[in-house]
Amino acid sequence: MCGIIGFAGREEAAPILLDGLARMEYRGYDSAGIAVRSNQWGLQAKKSRGRLERLYELTHGGKDLDGPLGIGHTRWATHGEPNDCNAHPHISEDGRIALVHNGIIENYMEIKEKLIREGVRFASETDTEVAVQLLAYYYKQCGSMLEAVGKVLHRIEGSYAFGIICADYPNALIAARKDSPLILGFGEKGNFIASDVTAILKYTRDVIYMEDGEIAVITADSIDVFDQEFTPIEKKVNKIEWDVSAAEKGGYAHFMFKEILEQPEAIRKTIAPRIRDGKIIFDNFLITPEELKNLSRIYIIACGSAYHVGAICKYTWEKLLRRPVEVCLASEFRYSDPLVDKNTLAIIISQSGETLDSMAALREAKRLGARTLAIVNVVGSSIAREADQVLYTWAGPEIAVATTKAYSTQLILMDLIGLYLGDLLNTISKEDYQIILRQIETLPEKMRACLSKLDDAQYLASRHFNHNSIFFIGRNLDYAMGLEGSLKLKEISYIHSEAYASGELKHGTISLIEPGTLVIALGTYHALFDKAMSNVVEVKARGAEVLAITTESYRERMEKIADDTISVPDVHPILQPSLGIIPLQLFAYYVALQRGCDIDKPRNLAKSVTVE
Ligand code: AGP
């Protein structure tokens, strides 16, 4: 996902812009650039394909661009391949306006053709360049940059977070947002715009979250926000409570490894505020007990790993609530003509709270009358603000593109909510409620026990990092957990892998199993352990090598047939995936390490996908 930074201040902007872009590298990008309003040269811009190091070289660490006002961008290509020309900022034909953009202008081609007919010449293949050329076109007509921005926003369709500077305005930058996140920051050295908090946390903790349709004018001493009719809007200034170190690597080789190790503490921070005197407490929960009893349907809607949390909750919540629970990919939900009414509870799970597919699903569910609950990690994010209620995971900033601690905290928070609702519905006994709750409280220490076995995962990764394809097989909760284990491996090691319900293997996919195929067999769900064992025998009979994940109490039985076995502490079946996922995260990490992959910033991926 693209990253935007802008600065209007009392010192050179370029080094600050480059520093802010470096703090957003984790979002994923393929090119980067900055533009500064120079007292001497009007506008100066430098941009290039590839990593930020190249931009640092091109600008000598920013020293080549002078001036206290500027914008910067890391691009995750949507329209137009990654190259120097398509990188942002995009400059108007007359060289007077620079613009950066996160989002997609859906009617860009129609506008581009019109501007070409008016004689405008384009330098790039991007949709974004249409915005800056259209802005220049309107600016020439009306002579006011703010008014011209308003005209552009009325003319374009799609999603945007814009940062804009103009050679004629030496002290002000303009920002606008619709669907793509943008925050405004009040700093001592000057004021900021940014796609997310990590870019400017070093400079300020006081931020404004822009809403859709808002326009802002930022100078070194002021931030003014307007609606699209230029009516001033009073905005709340939020205090960011994160500690800066949480967004730093802290001596670890990769953010992903640091965040895997942070999971016990992240879990503790997520559950602690919600358990008091042996009871789960959700103050002012969205759904009353009466409404809960009348719920027609529960949807869990998400993408990627967040969807895999939902896949686990399908099993656990139906056990706890004895109600149907439907898990949907957000990108599918919105186009599936879903059965939603006012008695539907729609739960949107999203680490970033900015995933466009999940945001669109949230809006569709609300439009159809559902009550909406968001499970989000980034405080103040768009999904958090648009849902009827938000329950935050307290994982802290997650920088690695491949989620680990956010996934784990989403899962445990959903376990808490499921237990809470089951208790409200009296569909679980008080005894089971207490047993599970007590085990939830001991999870952090059990996770630490799993994390103490780094050597097992590292050794197995050293033996298996050269496969072309790896299969994860499991039943019930193990299958759902395998979905996440497979994605972790795929997204950071680039090895093809798939998770299969092991009972399904014989219906086709077993034809792919041949001598030497690596199968990761998940056997932590005791109720179906014998079935899982028979599936291990099936694949072994066809020459597969089996790495098994099971619990300590079943280790001895598994070791009889698997080639290698990693075991995790025994907990209640509903909680077992929270432990079983840890060796899978570690295995993926060490395989990617062995393969020399870019673990924190895997190719083609972004930390949050704010495009469809
Ligand atoms: C997970 O490792 C991936 N980074 C990706 O699947 C991610 O879970 C998905 O894009 C959803 O992101 P969100 O939780 O921020 O909505």
Pocket test for ligand 1, best of 609, 610, 611 (most atoms within 8 A of CB): 609
470 CA → ligand 1 middle, Å: 21
Kindly indicate the confidence band of residue 168, based on its pLDDT and cuts at 50, 70 and 90: very high
As a whole number of angstroms, the distance between CA 213 and CA 229 comes to 10
34 CA → ligand 1 middle, Å: 28
As a whole number of angstroms, the distance between CA 557 and CA 549 comes to 12
As a whole number of angstroms, the distance between CA 42 and CA 564 comes to 65
Kindly indicate the confidence band of residue 541, based on its pLDDT and cuts at 50, 70 and 90: very high
Closest atom of ligand 1 to CA, residue 378: 15
Kindly indicate the confidence band of residue 557, based on its pLDDT and cuts at 50, 70 and 90: very high
Closest atom of ligand 1 to CA, residue 404: 2
Closest atom of ligand 1 to CA, residue 302: 16
Mean pLDDT of 409-428: 97
Q: Range with the lowest mean pLDDT among 245-254, 439-448, 495-504, 572-581?
A: 245-254
Q: What is the DSSP string of 179-220?
A: BS--EEEE-SSEEEEESSGGGTTTT-SEEEEPPTTEEEEE-S
Q: Is 165 in the pocket of ligand 1 (CB under 6 A)?
A: no
As a whole number of angstroms, the distance between CA 184 and CA 43 comes to 23
Closest atom of ligand 1 to CA, residue 607: 4
Whether the per-residue pLDDT at 2 is higher than 70: the answer is yes
Q: Is 377 in the pocket of ligand 1 (CB under 6 A)?
A: no
Tokens of 454: 């780094």
Residue 105: per-residue pLDDT: 93
Q: Is 303 in the pocket of ligand 1 (CB under 6 A)?
A: yes
As a whole number of angstroms, the distance between CA 148 and CA 169 comes to 13
406 CA → ligand 1 middle, Å: 9
Tokens of 573: 């079946």
Cis peptide before 324 (omega within 30 of 0): no
As a whole number of angstroms, the distance between CA 267 and CA 281 comes to 16
Q: Is 352 in the pocket of ligand 1 (CB under 6 A)?
A: yes
As a whole number of angstroms, the distance between CA 269 and CA 247 comes to 17
As a whole number of angstroms, the distance between CA 219 and CA 212 comes to 21
Whether the per-residue pLDDT at 89 is higher than 80: the answer is yes
Q: Is 77 in the pocket of ligand 1 (CB under 6 A)?
A: no
Nearest to 487 by CA among 305, 300, 314, 263: 305
Residue 39: per-residue pLDDT: 83
Summarize pLDDT for 459-488 with one digit per residue, the tens: 999 999 999 999 999 999 999 999 999 999
- Residue 377 CB-half CA count within 13 A: 27
Pocket test for ligand 1, best of 608, 610, 611, 612 (most atoms within 8 A of CB): 608
217 CA → ligand 1 middle, Å: 32
Q: Is 502 in the pocket of ligand 1 (CB under 6 A)?
A: no
Please give the residue that has the higher pLDDT: either 82 or 214: 214
404 CA → ligand 1 middle, Å: 10
464 CA → ligand 1 middle, Å: 26
Q: Is 399 in the pocket of ligand 1 (CB under 6 A)?
A: no
Tell me what the pLDDT averaged over the chain comes to.
94
Q: Is 491 in the pocket of ligand 1 (CB under 6 A)?
A: yes
Summarize pLDDT for 387-416 with one digit per residue, the tens: 999 999 999 889 999 999 999 999 999 999
Residue nearest (by alpha carbon) to ligand 1 atom 5: 304
Strand ranges in 493-574 using DSSP code E only, listed in sequence order: 496-501, 518-523, 545-551, 564-568
Q: Output DSSP code: residue 211.
A: P
Residue nearest (by alpha carbon) to ligand 1 atom 10: 304
Q: Is 395 in the pocket of ligand 1 (CB under 6 A)?
A: no
Strand ranges across the sheet with 90-91:
90-91, 97-102, 160-166, 173-178, 214-218, 223-226
Q: Is 351 in the pocket of ligand 1 (CB under 6 A)?
A: yes
Mean pLDDT of 174-182: 93
Please list the residues that pair with 519 across neighbouring strands.
471, 546
Nearest to 542 by CA among 564, 515, 522, 520: 515
Q: Is 195 in the pocket of ligand 1 (CB under 6 A)?
A: no
Q: Range with the lowest mean pLDDT among 76-85, 129-138, 199-208, 490-499?
A: 76-85
Kindly indicate the confidence band of residue 194, based on its pLDDT and cuts at 50, 70 and 90: very high
5 backbone dihedrals φ, ψ, rounded to 5°: -140, 145
Q: Which helix (H) or strand (E) segment is 483 a member of?
A: helix 477-493
Strand ranges across the sheet with 389-392:
325-329, 297-302, 344-350, 371-376, 389-392
Length of the chain equals 612
As a whole number of angstroms, the distance between CA 74 and CA 221 comes to 26
Q: Is 417 in the pocket of ligand 1 (CB under 6 A)?
A: no
> Active-site residue among 2, 166, 313, 597?
2
What's the Rg (C-alpha) of the chain? 26
Q: Is 610 in the pocket of ligand 1 (CB under 6 A)?
A: no
Tokens of 601: 């910033």
Summarize pLDDT for 278-329 with one digit per residue, the tens: 999 998 898 888 899 999 899 999 999 999 999 999 999 999 999 999 999 9
Nearest to 195 by CA among 287, 96, 71, 309: 71
306 CA → ligand 1 middle, Å: 6
> Active-site residue among 47, 178, 488, 607?
607
Q: Is 166 a catalytic residue?
A: no
Residue nearest (by alpha carbon) to ligand 1 atom 2: 402
605 CA → ligand 1 middle, Å: 10
158 CA → ligand 1 middle, Å: 22
Whether the per-residue pLDDT at 244 is higher than 70: the answer is no
Residue 117: per-residue pLDDT: 97
Summarize pLDDT for 571-600 with one digit per residue, the tens: 999 999 999 999 999 999 999 999 999 999
Please list the residues that pair with 35 across neighbouring strands.
45, 71
Please tell me whether the overall predicted TM-score, pTM, comes out greater than 0.75 for this model: yes
Please give the C-alpha separations between residue 35 and each of 3, 11, 17, 383, 471, in angstroms, as whole numbers.
Answer: 14, 15, 9, 31, 47
Q: Is 607 a catalytic residue?
A: yes
As a whole number of angstroms, the distance between CA 99 and CA 176 comes to 11
As a whole number of angstroms, the distance between CA 156 and CA 105 comes to 6
As a whole number of angstroms, the distance between CA 275 and CA 284 comes to 15
Q: Mark residue 344 as left, alpha or beta (left: phi above 0; alpha: psi -120 to 50; beta: remaining).
A: beta
Whether the per-residue pLDDT at 246 is higher than 80: the answer is no
